[in-house]
Structure 1
Amino acid sequence: MNAVGSWWDGVELWIAGLPFIPQVAVVLAVVVPAAAITAYVVDIMLSTLFDARRRMFRRETAANPVRPEEK
């Protein structure tokens, strides 16, 4: 875990040492794809969850329901 912390500190210091424009470019190159991937994964997870919930709580319909106009 110390190795990961040391590596992250080095990356952070490297980004902080860059001029503003390259700093923004590097952050956007990492943050935009990470946010898009996160949004995609969350969308898939929620879709799966809601589909399962819909199947679980779906009301069963009668085989031959009687409609009011057919009485």
Structure 2
Amino acid sequence: MFAIAHLPVAATIWTLTPIVIIRTILLNSLLGVAFGYLYWRWGLEYAILSHFLAGIVLHGIGGS
């Protein structure tokens, strides 16, 4: 669900080809598992903070 929720944003950046869909779902699934682990292990605050920081880093690198 976490990964599929990112497809509308991906569609605004790229044409949704099978490669783009697979890439978006795969990469976001991996991050979703990581954030879920942080939530399970250390709580909601750490999961939210890590998601926020990942967004800053990825948008800083990606520029969008």
Per the normalisation by structure 1, the TM-score is 0.38
1 or 2 for the larger relative contact order (CA 8 Å, sep ≥6)? 2
Per the normalisation by structure 2, the TM-score is 0.41
Query: Greater Rg, structure 1 or structure 2?
Result: 1
More helix by share: 2
